[in-house]
Chains A and B, each alone.
Chain A
Amino acid sequence: MLRKGFAFAALGLVLLAGPALAATTQEEPKHLEWSFDGPFGKFDKQQVQRGYKVYREVCSACHSMNLMYFRNLGQTGGPFYDPKYQNPNDNPIVKSLAHDIQVKDIDPDTGDVISRPATPADKFAPPFPNEPAARASNGGALPPDLSVMSKAREGGSDYVYSLLTGFSNTPRGVTVPPGKYYNAYFPGGAIGMPPPLTDGKVTFDDGTASTIKQEAKDVAVFLAWASDPKAEERKAFGFGAMIYLLIFSGLLYASYRRIWRNVAH
């Protein structure tokens, strides 16, 4: 009983103290206009491609995306979708992007663990073999998986962008533990991730100037797409469904008026 009581009290403390702390130190994310906002919003394929490059060259050093397969990049709605290759496993761009990455496998003849170039059917390879390894390389902090990051944080893409561009000097009166960095958009203000982006860190293939803001925006869009790769299909389907339901409702209302026309009610 007593132990339960303590557990409940601790839970209560977390409930009460957590938000109170957060409320004083966490800033509301900046609000941006995103191309995929709204019922007709679409992803800018070029932008998702640039975002993938930022993820691949910067984020993927520490962050896994365990729900993502290379084939996702070439599927309908994906950044490298090509109508010529309905099966994304045949898409040459996706093949070469996968080929650049080494994945672990088992040699079928010897049973040894080997590394081989990835194929479109492979998952994004995680940067660390397990959680302790990830923590050991990051000062005890665990870089979260980014597969559904845009859905997993309040504010979604606004939050991702604000966090990536939100590093600043520690304000007076705030102490940041050693090995942590001050970021006003992170709950509590002290984040284990060093500022990941710098101007010119990634060279974009389409010639877009790679400022920090541009890189952050592009990778936020990539993560938004990765979190919800069926968003465009969903909205298109929904548009048809709405038209159908509106016509259907109109017909039903007309039938209702006609059937009831002689009933006083």
Chain B
Amino acid sequence: MSGHSTYEPKSGFERWLDSRLPIIRFANDTIVTFPTPKNLNYWWTFGGILSLMLGMQIVTGIVLAMHYVPSADGAFNSVQRIMRDVNYGWLIRNLHANGASMFFLAVYMHMFRNLYYGSYKAPREVLWILGCVIYLLMIGTAFFGYVLPWGQMSFHGAVVITNLIGAIPVIGPSVTTWLWGGFAVDNATLNRFFSLHYLLPFMIAGVVGLHIWALHVPGNNNPTGVNVKSAEDTVSFHPYYTVKDGFAISVFLIMYAVFVFFMPDALGDAANYVQANPLVTPQHIVPEWYLLPFYAILRAVPNKLMGVILMFGAIATLFVLPWLDTSKVRSLRYRPTARLYYGIFFLTCIVLGFCGAHSPDDPVIPAISGPQLLDANLNSFVWLSRIAALYYFAYFWVITPLLGLTETPLPVPESISSPVLSHPASAPVGAVASPEKRG
């Protein structure tokens, strides 16, 4: 896919196949000899982790679908039956349910790494946009999947989210009815969500193929953000990165296993162990942790339609990011001011998640009554989420474009090898980029 191929067929069969379907050549060029910058740190291992998680979710999901009953009457009990009576059903279901959280954890690490090292910038804009498409598909898949156990939170979460579409003027209510397949979230909704939950992962797999293709044209970015200049800057993907990714995957699996085996319900909601009942609304309706920041943005806005627009705008912004960033320097290692704003942005995302988990009117600092500002108390999660949402958008639409024009970056090394060879004394090390010192 990139550069000339170094593959030489060794046997008669390989020569025969190579002139008909050069699939071994393709595999060789993609995962064996692919020249990879030699200075990638552990933040670059999440791509491999994500591939594994996608495979894990698809395999466990296919097995679960063999035992799951997609109907409003049977869904809840069939999921419990998987946990109780299916051989190793508890294992498969815990892997799948916690796998979703691990998948999102990894994708967030992958995205924050991307933002830090400027990997979205030219010539990797299409690579980045494909990644954003995958992320959107993941959100859809996770939402559909969360509805399937048909617990209280599944049902009422589905009601809240599908009702958002009703905020679209004029056509909203009809579109909602069409999506529901009726006049409420019911059996028809559950069945189509099951169908879509089975479909979307394969679409993700397809876009992942494109994502890897788009990666292999310009090649990997690296912690310095400097282009690869010579063969001296790279190593072959195998064995150097297969072993490094392998080690990182194994460590990631340890964390995953802690959740699966020792606290399988820690990331879930107790209300989802109560069968869906349209007549009883849970006290708190909250999405899973990985969607909380967007939920906070949604609830920060008093107007429902504006809330929906901003929530989707938060993701849409990511798509145009390559054209918002005016800086010529990719890596924040050499942009100390930008690094500071990035740090605040990272905290903002955490704060938004925190806000999404609380009731908007709850006080942020208990036992202090702040002044009333417009429609809410200043010491409330609704105002905290407003401030955080403001920074979220300002970071992309104001700070990133202006900073690239005004800041003075530190000197950028000539090549990947030059800071490496003088390592570690003179190599500038980013705030979150310490793991690359390992090894």
Contacts and interface: CB of A to CB of B under 8 A. Distances in A.
Interface stretch (B8-16, B254-262, B404-412): B254-262
Nearest to B436: A265
Nearest to A67: B80
Interface residues of B, number: 51
A11 B281 contact: yes
Nearest to A23: B362
Interface in A97-148: 144, 147-148
B80 A153 contact: no
Interface string B14-25: 000000000000
A8 B281 contact: no
Q: SS class of chain B's interface: helix, strand, loop or mixed?
A: helix
A255 B265 CA distance: 35
Main secondary structure of the interface of A (DSSP, over half): helix
Interface residues of A, number: 50
Interface in B357-382: 359-362
Nearest to A252: B247
A252 B246 contact: yes
Contacts of B265: 151
A85 interface: no
Interface string B227-269: 0000000010001100110110011011001101110110000
B264 A234 contact: yes
A179 interface: no
Contact of A229 (B84, B235, B251): B84
Nearest to B151: A152
Given A15-B285, A252-B247, A238 B423 contact: no
B80 A147 contact: yes
Contact of A11 (B160, B360, B362): B160
B54 to A, nearest CB: 20
Contacts of A253: 247
Interface in B390-432: 417, 420-421, 423
Contacts of A144: 274
Given A15-B284, A256-B243, A263-B38, A238 B173 contact: no
Nearest to A153: B270
Nearest to B233: A265
24 contacts: A1-B173, A11-B281, A15-B284, A148-B80, A151-B265, A153-B270, A156-B270, A234-B90, A234-B94, A235-B262, A241-B257, A245-B250, A245-B257, A249-B247, A253-B247, A255-B246, A256-B243, A256-B247, A259-B240, A260-B243, A260-B439, A263-B240, A264-B38, A264-B420
Interface of A: 1, 4, 7-8, 11, 14-16, 18-20, 22, 39, 66-67, 72, 144, 147-148, 151-154, 156, 187, 227, 229-230, 233-235, 237-239, 241-242, 245-246, 248-249, 252-253, 255-257, 259-260, 263-265
